[in-house]
Amino acid sequence: MPKTVILWFRRDLRLDDNPALRAAIADCERLVPVYIHAPHEEAPWSPGAASRWWLHWSLLGLERALGDLGSRLWMAQGDSLAELSRIVAITGATEVHWNRLYDPATRNRDSGIKQALRAEGLRVESHRGSLLFEPWDIATANAEPYRVFTPFWRRCAARLAEHEPVSAPTALPPGPEPVEALSINDLGLLPRLAWDQGLRETWTPGEAGAQARAAAFLQTGIQGYGLERDLPDRDGTSGLSPHLHFGEMSPRRLLAMVAEQIGDPAAEPAEPFMREIGWREFAHHLLYHYPRTTDEPLDRRFADMPWRDADSDRMLAAWQRGETGIPLVDAGMRQLWHSGWMHNRVRMVVASFLTKNLLLPWQAGAGWFWDTLVDADLASNSLGWQWSAGCGAGAAPYFRIFNPVRQGERFDPEGAYVRRWCPELSRLPKQSIHQPWTAPSALLAHAGIRIGRDYPAPIVDLKSSREAALAAYETIKRR
């Protein structure tokens, strides 16, 4: 019997710098690359619609890339352990390799699978493929997890030179003919209604798309990243988040590209971008050590936060639809709905607006982002929302409440971003575009806008809702 090894793909949909892949083919005659669709095992954080759309195309790319190297992706659906066992039985595989994931449900599942397969006599190994540092590998002097980003990243930054990516193989061992395997279309990942036009215009999922995006960013974007990334109407961010989430590029590869093409990753001009990679690491560090922070505030005092009850459904719906009457907020929410993505600066603005001006629980925002973002990532999403709400690690001070009008004037001074996503406001001059409700009536008439008809009146007063938020925080402060 030829030695047969299973490579279990999950969120590491690439051939380049894939440690599980390298280990699997190190000593094997037949390789069985497997993908098992098992969204119920990630519940309650099963991938949202935008993520499933991405996954479909990314899997398709992986299937082609494997085919080009003489291999073939074995697609399955159901319980992961049952499917792996079935494939083991069919193929006579004696080894299984995968790259580790860090969200609580998956960790739990994977450790059970590892145990069960080992009990059947298989060799089972997991690998570090999606992080620069294992969450347990970075610790304070007291051997405790970090809860503040800056010292965490200082510790990491001293060790960036450790990382050496491994290239994609140029050929792969053949595999057995899949038995009762599914096709990607069988997984039903694409939306039934064709709402994905905006996604298709915006993204190229898959490893090739990731490499192209990274190359383009390093060519031009990274130079001005420190400043440009704050301007939502520019292409100033890297756009790599969904590619990193699905493991279409490893952070190690990205780091190596930065070091080679830009220079010292810990120095200008690469440093601001590498810090963002650091935030991704930090988010996984926190999720690993505090797995309940997907649903519960890290700062326990916030369990008693007096979130809004009355009107909350109507307010949440207005926020989700981009009909709050606050242009920058609405522009962001509509960008999200259309393209599956929102500029990071605007994410902070809409999150501050939801949790502070509307006093709605951050979990409601996290849930919506989870469903709509193509880069929805449990670690980053939980960290970001808790940070915004003020209840997370190194959280924003409670008095730091974004004023969406002021943010618009600072970061979208010409109103280009608002005009793009809220076209009904496009004829307003920049002086009024971020607060149309204060524009003189003649100006509104000239721009063809009736407040409350063509564009909503603000659903809350910014000044008084800010004061209400400060008062709410006051009630939970000292306990």
Partner DNA sequence: TTTTGAGTTGTTCGA
Partner DNA sequence: GTCGAACAACTCAAA
Q: Which of 151, 306, 413, 423 binds DNA (CB under 7 A)?
A: 151
Q: Which amino acid is at 177?
A: E
Q: Are 258 and 250 in contact (CB under 8 A)?
A: no
Identity of the residue, 21 or 326, whose beta carbon is nearer to DNA in the bound complex: 326
Residues that contact DNA, how many (by CB under 7 A): 39
- Between 314 and 353, how does the x/- string for binding to DNA read (CB under 7 A)? ------------------------------xx--x-----
From residue 335, how far is each of 218, 346, 353, 390 by CA, in Å?
Answer: 25, 10, 16, 25
Q: Which of 461, 437, 462, 433 is nearest to 450 (CA)?
A: 437
Q: List Cβ neighbours of 16 (8 Å cut-off, separation of 6 or more).
A: 165, 166, 167, 168, 207, 211, 249, 250, 253
- Distance, in Å, from the CA atom of 239 to the CA atom of 26, rounded to the nearest integer, reads 34
Q: Which of 9, 225, 353, 402 binds DNA (CB under 7 A)?
A: 402
Does 276 interact with DNA (rule: CB under 7 A)? yes
Closest CB 426 distance from DNA, rounded Å: 23
Does 132 interact with DNA (rule: CB under 7 A)? no
Does 82 interact with DNA (rule: CB under 7 A)? no
Q: Which of 238, 407, 432, 465 binds DNA (CB under 7 A)?
A: 407
Determine the interface stretch with DNA among 8-16, 116-124, 259-267, 400-408 (rule: CB under 7 A). 400-408
Closest CB 362 distance from DNA, rounded Å: 14
- Distance, in Å, from the CA atom of 327 to the CA atom of 74, rounded to the nearest integer, reads 47
Q: List Cβ neighbours of 110 (8 Å cut-off, separation of 6 or more).
A: 98, 100, 101, 126
Q: Which of 372, 382, 403, 432 binds DNA (CB under 7 A)?
A: 403
Q: Which residues in 12-51 contact DNA (CB under 7 A)?
A: none
Does 147 interact with DNA (rule: CB under 7 A)? yes
Q: Which of 27, 144, 162, 164 binds DNA (CB under 7 A)?
A: 144
Binding site for DNA (CB under 7 A): 140-142, 144-152, 154-155, 230, 275-276, 279, 344-345, 348, 387, 394, 396-403, 406-407, 410, 462-463, 466, 477-478
